[in-house]
Amino acid sequence: MRAALLEESGPIESSPLKLRDVPDPVPGEREVRVRVACCAICRTDLHIIEADLAPAKRPVIPGHQVIGAVDQLGRGCTRFKTGDRVGIAWLRHTCGQCRFCTSGRENLCPSSQYTGYHADGGFAEFAVVHEDFAYAIPKQFDDVHASPLLCAGIIGYRAMLRSGVRDGETLAIFGFGSSAHVIAQIAKRRRRCDLYVVSRSRSHQRLARELGAAWVGDDATKMPHPPQAAIVFAPAGEVVLPALACLDRGGAVALAGIHMSPIPSIDYDRYLFQERDIHPVTANTREDGRRLLDEASAAAVVPHVKTYGLGQANEALADLKHGRIDGTGVLVV
């Protein structure tokens, strides 16, 4: 099969992904093989390619927002049949036995493994996954519009939960990329939240307005009222301070990124007193994934997508890195 393979890390501008012919994967016990239709790109792919995350497997096929049809079943599969449409997301293995797995917190399992990082992902014609970690995809989404839900959507959803925002409250969003533009639609339509969006990008600001944000700007001190909750999607630690400072008493900032530059020192009186809190997000549980797909369906979420061919993977990720995508970039295989 053809795959965009990462053999050696490097800046995305040096085109580290190489289009190669590699053997088709063979599904193991209780694994399904998926003929990939498309795979959305994510900032985590960039962190893997540029080695901001310590390399786990080389060479590796990145990509963890995979949509496709099951084309082969490994021994013992019972959940899906060939032809079923499924999604493969970031979380692909947990032990099922540790204190985190047995208390609804499998996102913290020390043995967790991730697609496109520990195992090959979806920048390829085929990908495999254990059937228990595949998602059934709601019919209302076509392939290209379903794929951003699988990480942008799921992680954004967990970040929204971690922010503690309640129905009808104001949610501030710092950085308005792929994840933010999906979860903004859910927060507004399902939780009746007012949205305040902080972004320096004019085109991201425009998209936020189109999606009904109540206030959009580049300076959080100009918000009309203190929001009750905030989510930082920007991978920049210095953004955490204005996010804390803008909050109402008792509010929390969820940090959605898997990687962030250092957070500057935090003055207790100014940023944390009055029980303002910081809630990092680490991966997700499968339950988060199922709930997100239900919520996205009920909210009739429409991700804004920009499509690329598999051979344009480097270009797509460079566009993501430099803020040239409004919404989500999707590789159509």
Which residues are near Zn ion by CB under 5 A?
42, 44, 94-95, 98, 101, 109, 151
Shortest distance (Å) from residue 176 CB to Zn ion? 16
Shortest distance (Å) from residue 258 CB to Zn ion? 7
CA nearest to 42, candidates 66, 25, 9, 21: 66
H helices of the chain, in order, are 43-49, 143-146, 152-163, 178-191, 202-210, 240-246, 286-298, 313-321
Shortest distance (Å) from residue 234 CB to Zn ion? 15
Sign of CA dihedral 151, 153, 158, 159: positive
Rounded to the nearest 10 degrees, the angle between the axes of helix 178-191 and helix 286-298 is 60
Within 10 angstroms of residue 72's Cβ, the number of other Cβ atoms is 17
Contact criterion met (CB below 8 Å) for 253 and 277: yes
Helices (H) and strands (E) in the chain, counts: 8, 17
Q: What DSSP letter does each residue of 2-66 carry, written as one string? A: EEEEESS---GGG--EEEEE-PPP---TTEEEEEEEEEE--HHHHHHHTTSSPP-SSSB-----E
| CB nearer Zn ion, residue 247 or residue 260 | 260
Shortest distance (Å) from residue 220 CB to Zn ion? 25
Question: Which single residue is written with the structure tokens 């501030």?
Answer: 172
| CB nearer Zn ion, residue 152 or residue 244 | 152
Phi, psi (degrees; rounded to nearest 5) at 184:
-60, -40
Shortest distance (Å) from residue 173 CB to Zn ion? 17
Shortest distance (Å) from residue 123 CB to Zn ion? 13
Shortest distance (Å) from residue 42 CB to Zn ion? 3
| CB nearer Zn ion, residue 102 or residue 140 | 102
Shortest distance (Å) from residue 175 CB to Zn ion? 14
| CB nearer Zn ion, residue 101 or residue 230 | 101
| CB nearer Zn ion, residue 100 or residue 271 | 100
Question: Which single residue is written with the structure tokens 């204190």?
Answer: 99
| CB nearer Zn ion, residue 95 or residue 299 | 95
| CB nearer Zn ion, residue 91 or residue 128 | 91
| CB nearer Zn ion, residue 17 or residue 73 | 17
SS3 194: strand
End-to-end CA distance of the chain: 11
Q: State the Cα–Cα distance between residues 149 and 16, nearest whole angstrom.
A: 26
